[in-house]
């Protein structure tokens, strides 16, 4: 099981002394600079208090270069199930951030402790990226050493580039070198993140093979340089977390050599309806809080939304009725977006309209993202499970059935 994080987020900005403050406005530090509020906080900033607490709470053995012990990393990601931890005079309960199998997280942590590459695979929207961010923040203190894989990603983005003005003026030198996030992680002994690695071209992926096997990167231009920095060796603690969507498996298939240098872990969708509903509620509530609004979507409406997503995602309803699956991935992340949109509509367009009446339109917009033919599949869902539930006497599903014409 997997999912997005459950804790809400508040805009936090830091002053010149590193003090964080809640709120949406800028904060002026001693030097006069203004730190702008962010839409999304990095996990190392958002959960700085928890990370600092866990570093002192467990003083056991740590792998080279790690900020926390492996046990503390698991506690940070999975939470403490309401248990309050104690460290000196401090008490803190760690909230769950990843809704998934604890054993999966433990395997990921063990992989990273062995300085082996970790590849998180799964359908889109199953929180692979979020899990990699949380693990990186807990292990090395930063999740920002990231390369976004695309068809346009170049080998330089995995290795290094140059400050060409300095290069032309002074020739090759370490000062003129512009390290990639991977090279920076190697020198710091940190975790490098590579998003959507299978979207990178094969020759770009191949640049990772030597990095993960030899743990060094050659910089031929510096061999004859005065500072003699021809080879960069990875510091203890360096490793790579990559993600790949199962839907992109055929874009740029990974070579067998590269696959052997990763441990694969599959992140699947959430299997429990109540758990997924609460996660969607928490994420949508946090999104509305960022704009200063309350999430005013009824619990029954939210459950109907999540139920529809689960039916269309799995190809069958909880009652066992067959459902034709659309080509679009009906992920938990998409359900969060729809719930947020319904909440924003209720907050900004208070015309007295029931948010339930906006659900068919939002579902149609989601389903038709990949294939217009999926419109017919959504109509089939309405003529199947939605109609049957209405006939069984559910007022909510009867309302949805009556809104079939809204699907066009």
34 plus 127 within the same structural domain: yes
Give every CB contact of residue 102 below 8 A, 6+ residues apart in sequence: 74, 78
Residue 248 vs residue 48, higher pLDDT: 48
E strand or H helix that includes residue 146: strand 146-148
234 plus 279 within the same structural domain: no
Question: Per residue in 313-349, pLDDT tens?
Answer: 999 998 999 999 999 889 999 999 999 999 999 999 8
230 plus 344 within the same structural domain: no
Residue 15 vs residue 264, higher pLDDT: 264
Tokens (6 digits) for 319: 């009652």
Tokens (6 digits) for 407: 């699907």
Confidence of residue 7 (pLDDT cuts 50, 70, 90): very low
For the entire predicted model, the pTM comes to 0.86
219 plus 352 within the same structural domain: no
What is the chain's mean pLDDT, rounded? Answer: 88
Give every CB contact of residue 245 below 8 A, 6+ residues apart in sequence: 121, 122, 123, 124, 128, 196, 198
Residue 225 has pLDDT above 70, yes or no: no
Q: Three-state DSSP class for 328?
A: coil
**pLDDT confidence of residue 26:** 42
Instruction: Answer whether residue 185 is part of any domain.
Output: yes
Closest CA to 297 of 254, 359, 343: 343
Cβ(140)–Cβ(188) below 8 Å: yes
220 plus 280 within the same structural domain: no
Instruction: Answer whether residue 280 is part of any domain.
Output: yes
Rounded to whole angstroms, the Cα distance separating 367 from 126 reads 17
How many structural domains compose the chain?
A: 2
Q: Alpha helix locations (H) across 173-222?
A: 181-188, 202-214
Rounded to whole angstroms, the Cα distance separating 43 from 77 reads 11
Tokens (6 digits) for 223: 């061999």
Residue 156 vs residue 33, higher pLDDT: 156
**pLDDT confidence of residue 114:** 96
Residue 10 has pLDDT above 70, yes or no: no
Fill in the DSSP letter of residue 322: B
Range(s) of the domain holding residue 120: 12-266
**pLDDT confidence of residue 230:** 81
19 plus 84 within the same structural domain: yes
Residue 4 has pLDDT above 60, yes or no: no
Domain C-terminal end among 222, 240, 266: 266
252 plus 188 within the same structural domain: yes
190 plus 312 within the same structural domain: no
**pLDDT confidence of residue 343:** 94
Instruction: Answer whether residue 3 is part of any domain.
Output: no
Rounded to whole angstroms, the Cα distance separating 93 from 85 reads 6
141 plus 238 within the same structural domain: yes
Instruction: Answer whether residue 27 is part of any domain.
Output: yes
Q: Which CA distances in Å does 113 have to 190, 238, 266?
A: 12, 10, 19
């Amino acid at each position: 099981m997997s999912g997005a994080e459950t804790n809400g987020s508040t805009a936090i900005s830091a002053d010149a002394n590193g003090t964080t403050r809640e709120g949406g406005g800028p904060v002026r530090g001693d030097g006069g600079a203004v730190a702008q509020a962010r839409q999304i906080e990095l996990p190392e900033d958002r959960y700085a208090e928890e990370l600092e607490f866990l570093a002192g709470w467990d003083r056991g053995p740590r792998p080279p270069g790690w900020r926390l012990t492996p046990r503390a990393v698991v506690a940070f990601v999975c939470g403490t199930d309401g248990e309050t931890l104690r460290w000196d005079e401090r008490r803190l309960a760690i909230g769950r951030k990843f809704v998934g199998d604890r054993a999966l997280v433990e395997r990921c942590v063990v992989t990273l402790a062995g300085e082996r590459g970790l590849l998180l695979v799964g359908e889109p929207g199953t929180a692979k990226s979020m899990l990699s961010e949380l693990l990186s923040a807990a292990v090395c203190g930063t999740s920002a050493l990231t390369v976004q894989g695309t068809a346009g990603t170049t080998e330089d983005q995995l290795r290094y580039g140059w400050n060409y003005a300095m290069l032309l003026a002074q020739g090759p030198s370490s000062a003129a070198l512009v390290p990639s996030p991977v090279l920076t992680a190697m020198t710091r002994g940190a975790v490098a993140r590579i998003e959507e690695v299978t979207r990178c071209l094969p020759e770009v992926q191949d640049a990772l093979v030597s990095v993960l096997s030899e743990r060094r990167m050659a910089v031929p231009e510096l061999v004859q340089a005065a500072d003699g920095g021809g080879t960069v060796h990875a510091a203890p603690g360096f490793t790579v977390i990559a993600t790949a969507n199962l839907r992109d498996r055929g874009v740029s298939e990974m070579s067998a050599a590269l696959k052997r240098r990763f441990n694969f872990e599959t992140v699947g969708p959430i299997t429990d309806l109540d758990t997924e509903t609460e996660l969607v509620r928490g994420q949508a509530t946090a999104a509305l809080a960022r704009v200063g609004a309350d999430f005013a979507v009824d619990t029954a409406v939210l459950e109907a939304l999540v139920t529809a997503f689960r039916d269309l995602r799995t190809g069958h309803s909880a009652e066992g009725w067959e459902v034709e699956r659309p080509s679009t991935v009906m992920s938990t992340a998409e359900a969060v977006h729809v719930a947020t949109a319904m909440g924003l509509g209720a907050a900004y367009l208070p015309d007295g309209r029931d948010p339930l009446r906006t659900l068919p339109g939002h579902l149609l917009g989601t389903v038709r993202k990949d294939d217009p033919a999926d419109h017919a599949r959504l109509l089939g869902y309405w003529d199947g499970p939605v109609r049957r539930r209405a006939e069984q006497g559910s007022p909510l599903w009867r309302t949805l059935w009556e809104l079939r014409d809204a699907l066009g």
